[in-house]
């Protein structure tokens, strides 16, 4: 084979694993992109910030939705369906949860925000979705969320929906969960 042909061949053969790696690189890139722009409704844990707290906030409604992933028998519902809140102030809400089975189970709640462009302005100081819940048979609990909606929220948004889906992760690989947990934070 001619030398130039070999050079073309090597370039192309190198390109293939690079593009394969690029496919995998899309996973963290997607997370970073979503965190920066806040566009897929994912909300990450944020630190307490004095700057976000103001007194000239406006009044909006925040609506809580709870969903059970199929095969998840627990009772799971918000303590209040709708809350009137002020932007620029910290508010607390709770979700009621009960393990209705006779087995010890572990659960993970996954949040989502609609409309998606509100997600970047929703700051969660504390959320049960940042950790797993382990409940004994019949045990019940009130799960806390502490959040603030920033005053920067686009003025056309008057209603935010915060939805949680609860998943049964009892049989999940500990290590995989720990890893994904880190990826989320």
Partner 1 sequence: MSAVIENHHDEHDHGPAKGITRWLYTTNHKDIGTLYLWFSFAMFLIGGAMAMVIRAELFQPGMQIVEPEFYNQMITLHGLIMIFGGVMPAFVGLANWLVPMMIGAPDMALPRMNNLSFWILPFAFFILLSSLFMEGGAPNFGWTFYAPLSTTYAPPSVTFFIFSVHIMGASSIMGAINVVVTIMNMRAPGVTLMKMPLFVWSWLITAYLLIAVMPVLAGAVTMMLMDIHFGTSFFNAAGGGDPVLFQHIFWFFGHPEVYIMILPAFGIVSHIIETFSRKQLFGYSSMVWAMLSIAILSFVVWAHHMFTVGLPLAAEIFFMWATMLIAVPTGVKVFNWVATMFRGSLTFETPMLFAVAFVVLFTIGGLSGLMLAIVPADFQYHDTYFVVAHFHYVLVPGAIFSIMAAVYYWIPKWSGNMYDERLGKLHFWLSFVGVNVTFFPQHFIGLAGMPRRYPDYALIFADWNMVSSVGAFLFGFSQLLFLFIVIKTVMGGKKATDQVWEGAKGLEWTVASPAPYHTFSTPPKID
DSSP state of 69: P
* Residues 121-150 contacting partner 1, CB under 8 A: none
Structure-derived torsion over alpha carbons of residues 83, 56, 146, 172, reported in degrees to the nearest 10: 90
Query: Can you tell me the distance from the alpha carbon of 131 to that of 123, in angstroms, rounded to the nearest whole number?
Result: 17
Query: Can you tell me the distance from the alpha carbon of 173 to that of 30, in angstroms, rounded to the nearest whole number?
Result: 24
CB of 175 to partner 1, least distance (A): 8
CB of 65 to partner 1, least distance (A): 15
CB of 145 to partner 1, least distance (A): 18
22's enclosing H/E stretch is helix 3-37
Q: What's the Cα-to-Cα distance from 25 to each of 48, 96, 110, 177, rounded to whole Å?
A: 31, 38, 23, 20
Stretch touching partner 1 by CB under 8 A, among 51-59, 112-120, 133-141, 155-163:
112-120
CB of 59 to partner 1, least distance (A): 25
* Residues 6-45 contacting partner 1, CB under 8 A: 8-9, 12-13, 15-24, 26-27, 30, 37, 39-42
Q: With binding defined as CB under 8 A, does residue 48 bind partner 1? A: no
Give the count of beta carbons closer than 10 Å to the beta carbon of residue 167.
18
- How many residues sit close enough to partner 1 to count as binding (CB under 8 A)? 45
Q: List residues bridging with 84 in a β-sheet.
A: 61
Binding site for partner 1 (CB under 8 A): 1-2, 4-5, 8-9, 12-13, 15-24, 26-27, 30, 37, 39-42, 69, 108, 110, 114, 116-117, 165, 167-169, 172-173, 175-177, 180-181, 183-184
């Amino acid at each position: 084979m001619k030398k130039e042909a070999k050079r073309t061949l090597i370039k192309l053969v190198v390109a293939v694993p690079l593009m394969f790696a690029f496919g995998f690189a899309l996973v963290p890139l997607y997370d970073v992109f979503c965190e920066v722009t806040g566009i897929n409704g994912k909300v990450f844990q944020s630190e307490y910030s004095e700057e976000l707290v103001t007194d000239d906030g406006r009044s909006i409604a925040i609506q809580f939705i709870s969903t059970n992933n199929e095969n998840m028998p627990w009772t799971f519902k918000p303590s209040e369906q709708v809350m009137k809140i002020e932007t620029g102030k910290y508010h607390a809400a709770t979700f009621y949860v009960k393990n209705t089975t006779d087995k010890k189970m572990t659960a993970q709640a996954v949040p989502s925000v609609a409309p998606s462009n509100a997600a970047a302005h929703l700051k969660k100081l504390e959320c049960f979705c940042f950790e797993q819940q382990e409940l004994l048979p019949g045990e019940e609990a009130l799960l806390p969320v502490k959040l603030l909606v920033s005053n920067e929220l686009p003025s056309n948004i008057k209603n935010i929906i915060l939805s949680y889906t609860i998943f049964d992760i009892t049989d999940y690989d500990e290590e995989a969960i720990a890893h994904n947990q880190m990826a989320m934070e």
